[in-house]
Amino acid sequence: MATGGSPASGRSHRGKFLMIALVCAVLLVGVGVFVVTHTKSAASMRRQQASAATAKFLRTWADGNLSALPAQTVTGSAAVTQAYNTLDLALGLGSRVGGSAAAHATAAQQAAVLPIRVQTGEPIGSGDLITVPATVIINVPGLGTWRDPITMHVRASGSKALIDWSPQSIAPALKAGDHIQMTRTVPTRAAILGTDGQPVPAGADVSALVGTLGAATATQAKTDPTLRTGDIIGQSGLQASSDATLRGAPSGNLTVVDPAGHVVATLARWAGRTPAPVTSTVNATMQAAAAQSISHTGHPSALVAIDTTNGAVLAAASNPAGYPRALLGQYPPGSTFKMVTLTAALMAGRTLTSPTTCSPTATVNGQTFHNAGGESFGTIPLQQAFAVSCNTSFINLAVSLPTGTLASAAKLLGCNTGHSPLTVPSFGCSYPASATGNAYAASAIGQGTVLTSPLAIASIAAAADSGTWHQTHITPGAAPDSHPLPAAVVAGLQGAMRAVVTTGTGTAANLPGTPVYGKTGTAEIGSGSNPPTDAWFAAFRGNIAVAVVVEDAGFGATAALPVATNFLTTVTH
């Protein structure tokens, strides 16, 4: 009887077949996974290459190496270089063909100076043509920022990735034959206005206050995105400190223009900013009178006029033109500084009736001081000593004052503030606070190392009138700094300065009408037995204070006083 295979043997064969089938299935799945993974890896690599190619191409443009652009494109056409050069010229970046302007700069330096920055997005696609979105950020000279969203097409070429370039690579709206055009409109600069609301007339004599204009340098243009080299900007004075307000900002349009000259798209628009006038404290009438008053002295001269109520500079004239001695001049003030020494005496409790010794000479630490013309009046009241400008009285007085009193008075009246009196280049008052002996004695009569400007002396005269020392300023409003003088000081200064004009060295300034209060000054500026002298006169009438210096002109009463009275007669009554 025939017999068949055992059940165990049949199961064994079936198990082997199943095992072989399972192994085959696993192998097939593994091959599929490998194929899919390899495909994904290749696509990812192409996207990475496309992103790198885009970044390189745009960076080459940003670096200014335009001649290297064609080699990174599919066609290799020199038209690519020409297209970007034309774009750069339209944007005001200049011609950058021929090499990288930043080839040797560090990355940090490039980021600081290059006008073009690039941001790339995630590549799109998986085949031979990959799309890379990007944003180009361009600092357009004289207008501001243009953000240009673009799309770059990158084609695989063997092991390389090259830009499949077209005009749309520059701007989506740009087609073959079109070009990009920039228009920039610079608004008319606004005026600096005087106290009458009218533009301050231009002139060399007023340039120290309102300032000058000039073409912006490349360095200046880098400080403001709305500036281009050559734009007219303020170079000094209020023209410089208020330049942004006066200049405004240019408007502009960046457009795509077709071959027929029609605008087909606007890529960017800058609204600009309307210029606005700036009001100054300059009084045009007084400025003209100041310039006229010093025009016939025959010597370098300066005149400053101040509103005593608030310290506003009404006029500042210097002759000859070229150096603003009214604001920047550093002179020994001579006897006009006795306004400060008198203040110190009054602060120390002296009065105008206090006796002083007007001896022929005064000797301190071996140095002998004299009066003008060898005058001597003996024992006289402090008011008379001030009126006749007795040097020895004030030296003897200063020596008798408590230590530091004269330095405190000088600071009270604006000396040694540690800053310029105005926001434009200017000099104030420098007093040697630590001086002793003969140097201290010399300082009491405005000699030695005391230095002041006409501006500072005018502010001291103004304080005598108003009772408050105001820091000078050239824009309307309150003074940057103010502090009152003691009442006894104010009364004493006014009484003594009036006596100068009624009975003292300044009687030629005793004009009819509103009283004039003043102080003459004659400052030695050299050495020897008969040194040259600068002539000074400081005064106030009504609410106008004035200081005049005439260099190397002799006595203040004969050379500076007539200039001041000419001015005061014109502008006050």
Angstrom distances, CA of residue 293 to CA of 305, 328, 441, 548, 557: 12, 19, 34, 10, 15
Q: Which amino acid is at 506?
A: G
Q: How many CB atoms lie within 10 A of CB 560?
A: 34
Please determine, for residue 9, whether its predicted confidence score (pLDDT) is greater than 70: no
Q: Residue ranges of the domains in the chain? A: 30-96+111-183+252-276, 284-571
What band does 6 get if pLDDT is binned at 50, 70 and 90?
very low
pLDDT attached to residue 158: 80
pLDDT attached to residue 122: 95
- Helix, strand, coil percent values for the chain (each to nearest 5): 40, 25, 40
CB 308 within 8 A of CB 545: yes
Residue with tokens 């940090």: 108
pLDDT attached to residue 42: 82
Return d(Cα 209, Cα 149) in angstroms, integer.
48
CB 535 within 8 A of CB 553: yes
pLDDT attached to residue 96: 66
Q: What is the DSSP string of 98-161?
A: TS-TTTTS-HHHHHHH-SEEEEE---B-SSSEEEEEEEEEEEETTTEEEEEEEEEEEEEETTEE
User: pLDDT (tens digit, 9 = 90+) per residue, 305-359?
Assistant: 999 999 999 999 999 988 999 999 999 999 999 999 999 999 999 999 999 999 9
CB 152 within 8 A of CB 63: no
User: pLDDT (tens digit, 9 = 90+) per residue, 70-113?
Assistant: 999 999 999 999 999 999 999 988 876 654 444 444 433 333 34
Topology (CATH level 3) of domain 30-96+111-183+252-276:
Nuclear Transport Factor 2; Chain: A, (3.10.450)
Please determine, for residue 366, whether its predicted confidence score (pLDDT) is greater than 80: yes
Cis peptide before 320 (omega within 30 of 0): yes
Please determine, for residue 119, whether its predicted confidence score (pLDDT) is greater than 80: yes
Torsion of CA 78, 82, 83, 88, to 10 degrees: 140
pLDDT attached to residue 321: 86
Q: Report the SS3 class of residue 105.
A: coil
Q: Report the SS3 class of residue 171.
A: coil
Q: Report the SS3 class of residue 214.
A: strand
Please determine, for residue 189, whether its predicted confidence score (pLDDT) is greater than 90: yes
Tokens of 104: 């040797």
What single-letter DSSP state applies at residue 335?
Answer: G
Angle between helices 338-347 and 487-503 (to 10 degrees): 140
Nearest Cα to Cα of residue 165 among 268, 57, 258: 57
Q: How many CB atoms lie within 10 A of CB 167?
A: 18
pTM of the model: 0.78
Domains 30-96+111-183+252-276 and 284-571 share a fold: no
Question: Torsions phi, psi of 357, nearest 5?
Answer: -105, 110
Return d(Cα 354, Cα 178) in angstroms, integer.
92
Query: Where is average pLDDT lowest: 72-86, 107-121, 160-174, 191-205?
Result: 107-121
Class of domain 284-571: alpha beta
User: pLDDT (tens digit, 9 = 90+) per residue, 18-70?
Assistant: 444 444 444 344 434 344 444 558 888 999 999 999 999 999 999 999 999 99
pLDDT attached to residue 97: 66
> Stretch 465-493: mean pLDDT, rounded?
97
